[in-house]
Chain A
Amino acid sequence: MYRIVRREALRPTVTLLEVEAPLIAKKARPGQFIILRVDEDGERIPLTIYNADAAKGTITIIFQIVGATTEKLNHKAEGEYLQDFVGPLGKATETEGRKKVCVVGGGVGCAIAYPVAKAFHECGTEVHTVVGFKNKDLVILEEDFRAVSDVMKLMTDDGTYGEKGLVTDALKQLIEAGNTYDEVFAIGPMMMMKFVSLTTKPYGLKTIVSMSPIMIDGTGMCGGCRISVGGETKFACVDGPDFDGHQVDWDLAVKRGAMYKEFERHAYEEACNLFKQEVK
């Protein structure tokens, strides 16, 4: 059992949890993830590590409520326990040896983009960041990003905060303004990562994406998370989660991601019913 030492509602549907897991905290690197189960009957879900504090022995995760399990997770209070917490899983993001990069985060994906941007920053890399949200109410980690960015663009789809537009618009502007990057790192919804990859492709800019397919064990034993990269099948949990965005078969990844949509919808309704809430 893993104790929740801090819970903070960042936004109405976005929550931060700091969990006691000293062994994982000692080993975790940016880009790696954990798998957790909320309770004894729970499913296993992967969440990327937002912060690892080796001295305190804690791992922090940020998640958005999107379904039954994240809904249940959101109802865990400080001092309560999670049933299972496994990690660090996956390969760490490579952040060394880059002169100038652009980190693109979308929505709750920013929680994952941030530690990567921070790691680049700490390597002495010039870091440009583009973070995008649906609207003002969903903006997270703005100050965190500012602290590690040489240039930062904050976008909202509806223009209620920052600049109006998509992350791809801002990225294109930066490139058109003459910025060259050793690497663009993108993390967010599958569609966003796909379009970031499409945006950078004509410029021949190396683009790394952090894939988030369906996972069960997260240790390479089932292949539930397999994706096609450059025509080869890869297991995202052990070969990734980072891959070359120009090589990923996006259509396949999107379809596989939607495989259990109906079941998920139903489970979410039941979970909300349990907490007497409206389905968002």
Chain B
Amino acid sequence: MANMSLKKNPMPSQEPDVRNKNFEEVALGYTEEQALDEAQRCLHCKNKPCMQGCPVMVHIPDFIAEVAKGDFEAAYQIISATSALPAVCGRVCPQESQCEKYCVRGVKGEPVGIGRLERFVADWHNAHCTEAAVKPASNGHKVAVVGSGPAGLTCAGDLARKGYEVTVFEALHLAGGVLVYGIPEFRLPKSIVQKEVDGLKAMGVKVETDMVIGRVLSIDELMEEYGFEAVFIGSGAGLPMFMHIPGENLCGVYSANEFLTRINLMKAYQPGSNTPIQHGRKVAVVGGGNVAMDAARCAKRLGADVHIVYRRGKDELPARREEVEHAEEEGIIFDLLTNPTEIMGDDKGDVCGMKCIRMELGEPDASGRRRPVEIAGSEFELDVDCVIMALGTSPNPLIKSTTKGLEINKKGGIIVNEDGLTSREGVYAGGDAVTGAATVILAMGAGKTAAKAIDEQLSK
């Protein structure tokens, strides 16, 4: 008999006032009992509406059925048949707008905690299963993957499972892309990402770090000189945007990418770190997405009073709902319907304040969202000594500028067809490099689609 509780089993977490002073994981994960209990809430709908919300089509009711039986390893096998990074997705997917959005239990009450169960299953597997991954027999075909973020890792994993010899080229010194430089430790422990990467290596995937494709080797060289029959570009959208307001280059103004890279990749929050970071007294984070929440919560953990400055209202915040709630609990102040107009500096060139203006929501714009409009005469000053710009990112132009015949759109995204094929034969692309900044799971979906298309092309 199903568990008919209207509420999800709550996730045990660190107390807000404790966790906002450390970088350890906030959500602690279900116990076996909680997972079993939550799994009983699934009604095993025949038409599986939840699956349409999952970009990699995890067989959700099937894995939950195994959890309910207590066979967690069987549940893991079902998930990993379609998802390369379950421990990651269970943590960072915006389930409320994906799988859980379509859950029938959500019509009356809360949906089944699909993400929490996925996370539980993956963590259980990682803690209990010591069996080395089996390296599939080689089919003799070589594929290069540019970028080791979620799109590249998924594409590499899917191809390696089919026997392809895959080499992943990563520009930074660690593989994982946004999973290692962007998403903080307290949301996604780096040991989990490392485990997923190690898993791929065990399947025979080669990971070459320190390789900036476009500089050290071009896509053409990979294909012509190194014998890669196909290339997947998953180079992401790493180019930060700025507002182009006065004072944006003062000391103490960071792009969120820089701030988060220093913290997450370079571990600048640790006392013995060789990489410095400014510990602001009062920090403004401009933007309302997940990156803004991550940056704000990191700044809080470095000891600052933190404001999120966002030009629209609370309902328009693009961040995952849970992240907004977590940020609020941790004491982040939300200055909504507010837009910066200038950053002020002292004679040393350090930030000493930010001029802002209040906004109101006007008519919907082309994207359907109500456009924020300035309220005349509402200017005010915010007392800050550090500003983090989290306005979004666009695709890095390096690959397009060094690959002949690769078509891109006006926003710098690589143009692909429904299979992920670019304008160049044998060259595929997916993830943020195509769409501009989006989500981890969409990038994984794109990596998966491209892997399938590459396999079809090369096994002809």
Contact = CB atoms under 8 A, between A and B. Distances in A.
21 contacts: A23-B217, A37-B173, A41-B267, A43-B266, A43-B274, A43-B275, A84-B210, A85-B210, A86-B173, A86-B216, A219-B212, A221-B240, A223-B258, A224-B254, A226-B249, A233-B242, A233-B248, A255-B251, A256-B349, A259-B251, A264-B276
Interface in B222-253: 238-240, 242, 244, 248-252
B171 A219 contact: yes
B449 interface: no
A267 interface: yes
B77 interface: no
A103 B274 CA distance: 34
Contacts of A87: 212, 215-216
Contacts of A68: 274
A220 interface: yes
Contact of B261 (A41, A217, A238, A252): A217
Given A24-B216, A222-B261, A233 B276 contact: no
A23 B158 CA distance: 29
B272 interface: yes
Given A83-B173, A264-B276, 8 more contacts: A23-B217, A41-B274, A43-B266, A44-B173, A87-B216, A216-B275, A223-B242, A233-B242
Interface string A212-247: 000011011111101110000100001000000000
Nearest to A232: B244
Contacts, number: 107
Contact of B238 (A23, A221, A255): A221
A43 B268 CA distance: 9
Interface of A: 23-24, 27, 37, 41-44, 68-69, 83-89, 216-217, 219-224, 226-228, 233, 238, 251-252, 255-256, 258-260, 263-264, 267
Contacts of A227: 249
Nearest to B208: A23
A42 B244 CA distance: 33
A260 B349 CA distance: 13
Interface in B364-397: 396-397
B257 interface: yes
Most chain B CB within 10 A, of A84, A228, A263, is at: A263
A180 B280 CA distance: 50
Contacts of B266: 43-44, 216
A221 B396 contact: yes
A84 B274 contact: no
B396 A219 contact: yes
A222 B255 contact: yes
Identify the 7 closest CB pairs spanning chains A and B, nearest first.
Answer: A255-B349, A221-B238, A222-B258, A263-B276, A43-B274, A260-B276, A43-B275
Nearest to B242: A233
B361 interface: no
Contacts of B255: 222-224
A42 B274 contact: yes
B275 to A, nearest CB: 4
B209 A219 contact: no
Given A23-B216, A89-B215, A267 B261 contact: no
A220 B249 contact: no
A233 B238 contact: no
Interface string B163-199: 0000000011100000000000000000000000000
Nearest to A255: B349
A221 B216 contact: no
B348 interface: yes
A54 to B, nearest CB: 13
A84 B209 contact: yes
B81 interface: no
A88 B216 contact: yes
A252 B249 contact: yes
Nearest to A256: B251
A107 B273 CA distance: 29
Contacts of A86: 171, 173, 210-212, 216
Most chain A CB within 10 A, of B173, B238, B242, B261, is at: B173
B262 interface: yes
Contact of A223 (B171, B250, B257): B257
Contacts of B11: none
Contacts of A41: 267, 272-274
B398 interface: yes
A88 B171 CA distance: 11
Contacts of A264: 276
A41 B274 CA distance: 7
Contacts of B251: 255-256, 258-259
Nearest to A86: B210
B61 to A, nearest CB: 40
Nearest to B349: A255
Most chain A CB within 10 A, of B275, B396, B398, is at: B275
B210 A222 contact: no
B348 A238 contact: no
A23 B209 CA distance: 13
B234 to A, nearest CB: 14
Contacts of A267: 274, 276
B274 A69 contact: yes
Nearest to B348: A255
B152 to A, nearest CB: 15
B349 A252 contact: yes
Nearest to B173: A84
Given A84-B209, A259-B251, A222 B257 contact: yes
A223 B262 CA distance: 12
A217 B215 contact: no
Nearest to B210: A86
A217 B216 contact: no
Interface in B261-300: 261-262, 266-267, 272-276, 278
Most chain B CB within 10 A, of A23, A217, A226, A256, is at: A217
Nearest to A224: B258
B261 A216 contact: yes
A217 B262 CA distance: 10
A255 B249 CA distance: 10
Given A41-B273, A43-B266, A219 B238 contact: yes
